[in-house]
């Protein structure tokens, strides 16, 4: 994988992983309610479930792209448009009231892994990362690189957002800090789109 493509992949994966979404919101709430250690199965389930989702996306899309290369271009455009929409949503999102969420009990490993298949952000991320950064002629090598980056990003993300819930709740509840964070993440998301459409 060329260095510029790898750099774009890394930026894309980390920005999309760290921006607010169902997984990040859920582990933050779990960190607030149950603490870090009781959230570990939830974090592990997200990571494993997303890896399986990316592998499934690669297994199906590789054959389709080999048969219809124009489809990859169409998916790149659709993925870029989706990411622009996501960046707009992130930049314009407002912090919640900060009320503690009562989840009852932490999500289990299997529940968190299965949730990835119905999590729209995870499904779109898996399909988009394969479509944008896996070259059909280098599929196996590129998929392994994508998986390595995704695992690092996912682990880093769930640990960070759980940590926010455990130790940094006050920072996330501050509307000014939350707004600045959202704008910076949205801008990084837009920057990550440029190399994938060129």
Residue 113's pLDDT is: 93
- The domain of 34 spans 3-94+107-197
pLDDT at 100 over 50: no
Is residue 100 domain-resident? no
* Cα–Cα dist 7/198, whole Å: 14
Is residue 154 domain-resident? yes
Q: What is the pTM of this model?
A: 0.67
Is residue 153 domain-resident? yes
Tokens 């890394």 label which residue? Answer: 10
Percent above pLDDT 70 for the chain: 75
Three-state DSSP state, 109? helix
For 170-182, what is each residue's pLDDT tens digit?
A: 665 677 776 776 6
Is residue 46 domain-resident? yes
* Cα–Cα dist 126/141, whole Å: 17
Is residue 119 domain-resident? yes
* Cα–Cα dist 133/12, whole Å: 10
Please state the domain count of the chain.
Answer: 1
The larger pLDDT score, comparing residue 129 to residue 97, is at 129
Is residue 102 domain-resident? no
Give me the helices (H) in 92-198, please: 109-115, 120-133, 139-167, 169-173, 175-197
For 116-154, what is each residue's pLDDT tens digit?
A: 877 767 877 888 888 888 887 888 898 999 999 999 999
Q: Which two tokens stand for residue 123?
A: 């499904």
Is residue 22 domain-resident? yes
Provide the b/e sequence for 25-46 (b: ≥16 CB within 10 Å): ebbbbbbbbbebeebbbbbbbb
For 50-90, what is each residue's pLDDT tens digit?
A: 999 899 888 885 566 667 777 767 766 776 776 677 677 76
Number of other CB atoms surrounding residue 138 within 10 Å: 11
Is residue 101 domain-resident? no
Among left, alpha and beta (phi > 0; psi -120 to 50; other), residue 98 is left
Q: Which two tokens stand for residue 189?
A: 């998301």
Residue 97's pLDDT is: 43
* Cα–Cα dist 157/22, whole Å: 12
């Amino acid at each position: 994988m060329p260095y510029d493509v790898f750099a774009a992949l890394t930026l894309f994966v980390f920005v999309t992983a760290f921006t607010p979404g169902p997984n990040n919101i859920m582990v933050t709430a779990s960190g607030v309610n149950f603490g870090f250690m009781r959230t570990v199965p939830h974090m592990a389930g997200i990571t494993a479930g997303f890896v399986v989702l990316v592998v499934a996306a690669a297994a199906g899309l590789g054959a389709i792209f080999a048969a219809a290369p124009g489809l990859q271009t169409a998916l790149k455009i659709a993925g870029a448009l989706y990411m622009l929409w996501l960046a707009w949503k992130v930049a314009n999102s407002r912090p919640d009231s900060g009320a503690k969420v009562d989840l009852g009990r932490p999500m289990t490993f299997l529940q968190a892994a299965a949730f990835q298949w119905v999590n729209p952000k995870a499904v779109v991320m898996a399909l988009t990362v394969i479509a944008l950064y896996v070259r059909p002629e280098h599929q196996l090598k590129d998929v392994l690189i994508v998986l390595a980056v995704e695992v690092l990003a996912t682990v880093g993300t769930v640990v960070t957002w759980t940590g926010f819930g455990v130790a940094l709740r006050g920072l996330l509840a501050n509307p000014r800090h939350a707004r600045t964070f959202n704008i910076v993440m949205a801008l990084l998301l837009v920057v990550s789109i440029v190399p994938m459409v060129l």
